[in-house]
Amino acid sequence: MSYLERIATCRRWNPDDYRPLMIEDISVGRVGHDFARRLADFPHVFQVSDRAITLSDDLGDPEARTTAVREVLLDLRAQGEVPNWRDEDYPVVRRWGDEPFMTVERAAVPLFGMRGFGVHLNGYVETGDGLRLWVARRAKDKATAPGKLDHLVAGGQPHGLSVAANLVKECAEEAGMNAALARRAVPVGAVSYICERDEGLRDDVLFDFDLAVPADFTPRNTDGEVESSELWPMAKVLETIRETEDFKFNVNLVILDFAIRHGLLRPDDPDYQAIWEGLRRPEDV
């Protein structure tokens, strides 16, 4: 097995299986054909053709779009067609920092193939034997990737909250970390991917942070989403990524990026360039 297999998992999708979702002549997502046909039942909101789904021109501002699409989603939710409802709004944008076209319930983002954003924290400890990384195990009742290995802290990026504030919030919830320590995290870039998953098409950008945590720090989950956390040598982390599918699919990318930046993966590895390029969508490289 190889690291490239983990990267390939985050690139598996067929563009022919989707139609663009358009707002103001701009593509803001990709909708699978079955879901597109379902959206045709709501012609006051979605104009559906064989080539695209277009949000109605009558919905001329973000508030109107948000309200109309939410009413559709609530209808679909009542019929069991939007699982894992979060009551958490995501911004609908093509690039981070743009003004949102609207906001949409988080659970629907992959159904529409819209771009999602998140924060991931590499919480590590420097020891005499090299770097060690805090590895969390997701609770078995999680809707997504139950029981999989994860970062010390990771979470989606909701609308109306800065990335920095979201990271502090997630650190408190998932690791019992105080705000002063969380704010020492260093932003180190992002990874991105697009792939088909059970929940739909994931088109994600993950903002990555490194944090050298004190040796005496012990994570304490407070929101019930983490079963346990352990401090692993990086050799064990990388072996687990290379040889198993134990980590949540997108966590692999963030850790491989960490390994490259900290010199744990080197250019003499014949897959080095392919690994680096695979950590981002081609248009982001």
Full DSSP string of 197-211: ETTEEEEEEEEEEEE
pLDDT digits (tens, 9 = 90+) for 113-148: 999 999 999 999 999 999 999 999 999 998 889 999
- 10: confidence class by pLDDT, cuts 50, 70, 90: very high
CB neighbour list of residue 58: distance below 8 Å, 6 or more residues apart: 44, 64
Interval 161-165 mean pLDDT: 97
Give per-residue burial for 206-239: e unless 16+ CB within 10 Å, then b: bbbbbbebeeebebebeeebbbebebbebeebbe
* Percent residues over pLDDT 70 in the chain: 100
Domains of the chain: 3-11+116-284 (3.90.79.10), 15-114 (3.30.750.160)
Q: What is the pLDDT of residue 285?
A: 58
Tell me the three state secondary structure of residue 278. helix
pLDDT digits (tens, 9 = 90+) for 71-113: 999 999 999 999 999 999 999 999 999 999 999 999 999 999 9
CB neighbour list of residue 132: distance below 8 Å, 6 or more residues apart: 124, 125, 231, 232, 233, 234
